[in-house]
Amino acid sequence: MNSSFIQKDSVEYCYENVSRSCIKLSRSVSERAAMYFVFVPSVLITVGGNLVVIISISHFKQLHSPNNLLVLSLAIADFLLGLFVLPFSMIRSVETCWYMGPLFCKLHTSVDILLCTTSVFHLCFIAIDRYYAVCEPLRYANKITIRVSRIFITFGWVFPAIYSFGIIYTKSNDRGLEELDAILSCEGGCFLFFNKLWAILNAVIFYAPCFGMIGIYARILTVARNQAKLIHTVKDRTFSLEETRRKAQRNREQKAAKTLGIVMGVFLVCWLPYIIDTMIDVYVKFVTPAAVYDGIIWLVYINSAFNPLIYAFFYPWFRKALKLIVTLKIFFPNSSRIKLYKE
């Protein structure tokens, strides 16, 4: 995601000795320091939090399940976003100039769109996984296997890669906007414009999975509520060991579904302003102020930091794994076989 064009309200330039230099928004040292004070922790939480998820699911054998494989891939996308995209976006947002050159601008933009779109598709696939786990538990083991998860993951990376690199390197996203691009083209800028066709396509790629997720989670929560009522009505019954295990498994699946529902809700809150703005802005000649657009973009970015925080709050296994990682106990022999939750 890229900042909107910089408003010319300052005579300071990104490159003082370049005639076609972009105008730089003048900020005091205290303003820049305050912005870095907000952005740097966001980047560190995104990188560190998702790294903990990656290490946990990769290391502990108990977490090697089809669902967690999808969560692992989602965490990798968010981790890479925090490591390779956010630091450069942070500098651009604070300094209001792009100092890394046009070639890296294209690469940065492509990777940005790739990782963000990958997150959308992974959340959709996780919703499908939770649907079978909660609504059709007897068919879950046959329907959602490691192989199926790998197919989901492959599609969730390959399609966004084709989409992101395709629109940037073919310049199909700004066809019809050549005049605007020529006017705003300058040294020290890294701009991304969507023409009407690609603005609609961008919205469809977002809304189609989202509406699917909303429908799936509505069904999941209905079934989970009915199952909870059923469990409550037979709470005094004596269960066999196998029934007890199934009950515990069902409770975990319901809790996981609700937690991932929260993940999706946070995702929608973070993403909707950006999608709505890009879809409307192209029809009103890109009137969104630079500062507003930048804020919307960072709301999207911060979504990648929220997921591990949600896991830490709702998942006891995540907190236990974090403790084992911080205390370096994962380097002990057979640490990968440590039970993070009761079967």
User: What domains, with CATH codes, occur in the chain?
Assistant: 30-337 (1.20.1070.10)
Region 178-186 average pLDDT? 70
CA distance 107 to 140: 40
Q: Give the CA distances from residue 254 to residues 62, 142, 161, 312, in Å, rounded to whole numbers and listed in that order.
A: 18, 19, 33, 17
Q: State what percent of residues in the chain have pLDDT above 70.
A: 85
DSSP state letter for 120 = H
pLDDT class of 181 with cuts at 50, 70, 90: low
Is 177 or 29 the better-scoring residue by pLDDT? Answer: 29
DSSP assignment of 154-218, as one string? Answer: HHHHHHHHHHHHHHHHH-GGGTT-HHHHHHH--BT-------HHHHHHHHHHHHHHHHHHHHHHH
pTM for this one? 0.85
Look at 324 and 214; give whichever has higher pLDDT.
324
Q: Would you state the pLDDT for residue 251?
A: 65
pLDDT for 247 beyond 70: no
**Tell me, what DSSP letter sits at residue 62?**
G
| Percent residues over pLDDT 90 in the chain | 40
Mean pLDDT of the chain: 84
Looking at residue 92, what is its pLDDT?
Answer: 92
181 — phi, psi (to 5°)? -65, -40
Q: What is the mean pLDDT of residues 172-197?
A: 75
Which is higher by pLDDT, 92 or 284?
92
Q: Quote the pLDDT of residue 10.
A: 45
Q: Decide which of 60 and 260 is more confident.
A: 60
Q: pLDDT confidence of 8, banded at 50, 70, 90?
A: very low
Over residues 210-228, mean pLDDT: 80
Give residue 244's pLDDT band: very low, low, confident or very high (50, 70, 90): low
Q: What is the per-residue burial (b if ≥16 Cβ within 10 Å, else e) of 212-221?
A: ebeebbeebe
Helix (H, G, I), strand (E, B) or coil at 11: coil
Instruction: Identify the weakest region by mean pLDDT among 184-198, 222-236, 296-310.
Output: 222-236
pLDDT of res. 3: 46
Q: What is the mean pLDDT of residues 215-232?
A: 75
Q: Residue 112 burial (CB < 10 Å; 0-12/13-18/19+)? A: buried
Would you state the pLDDT for residue 135?
A: 84
Supply 339's token pair.
């039970």
